[in-house]
Chain A
């Protein structure tokens, strides 16, 4: 079983390393900013104190015209501890914090080619939301 607790500065190196290993991009400053006061940044810790995964999010109102919702910015689970409910435990812990802040909706953006993470959020009961994301390459 894993324990879920708020991330702290000493966790950043392990968080950054896990993310870099899984995504191929190293972004320590981004994770540093996730420790900000308005953010929820949670880690899942194994019984031995290792990092099993993390999740980051924030309640934001009127982004893109939408009323307040809890946004999930990132979630990663160490492949060694996958299929053991770590991701679900992180998601539920974050959702609980969102609810305590009075929101009733959780939202995220997912790469449509990343079937693993899409399936994960679907399994949490998430469905297509009201927005469509649009992009343009700037010349």
Chain B
């Protein structure tokens, strides 16, 4: 499964911060640990902040900390902030044909399994048993 870069960065940032909710890390700290640009991470952190998952980030030295509930928040909650919602995409050409509809049923099956998986893994589960 391919995730957009922002989604991946969002997951990295939330998981890193959720490892220790008392700890504050700047976007530069986070960017460095994952080898990505501070600019791309800053945008992601703003989205996470607006969603109430992290807090902070004022000024150059401003750091972020995790403010969510590790047991309640799942990977899907973060993915949903960055990826288009299932079912919200525009219909592709050919989808209204018999073959197009048959193909769509298979793709929907795959999406449902992926969503069930992401929804079942809480941050707590991820951080307790890193794979």
- A residues engaging B (CB < 8 A)? 112-113, 115, 118-119, 121-123, 125, 127-128
- Interchain CA distance A128-B114 in the complex, whole Å: 11
- Residue of chain A at shortest CB distance from B121: A122
- Interchain CA distance A119-B125 in the complex, whole Å: 8
Q: Kindly state the interface size class of chain B when it binds its partner.
A: 10 to 19
Q: Are A113 and B74 in contact (CB under 8 A)?
A: no
Chain B residues near A125 (CB, 8 Å)?
129
- B residues engaging A (CB < 8 A)? 74, 112-113, 116-117, 119-122, 124-125, 128-129, 131
| A interface secondary structure, majority | helix
Chain B residues near A118 (CB, 8 Å)?
116, 119-120
- Interchain CA distance A128-B74 in the complex, whole Å: 17
- Residue of chain A at shortest CB distance from B112: A112
Chain A residues near B112 (CB, 8 Å)?
112
10 interchain residue pairs of minimum CB distance: A118-B120, A112-B116, A122-B120, A115-B119, A119-B120, A123-B125, A122-B125, A122-B121, A125-B129, A119-B122
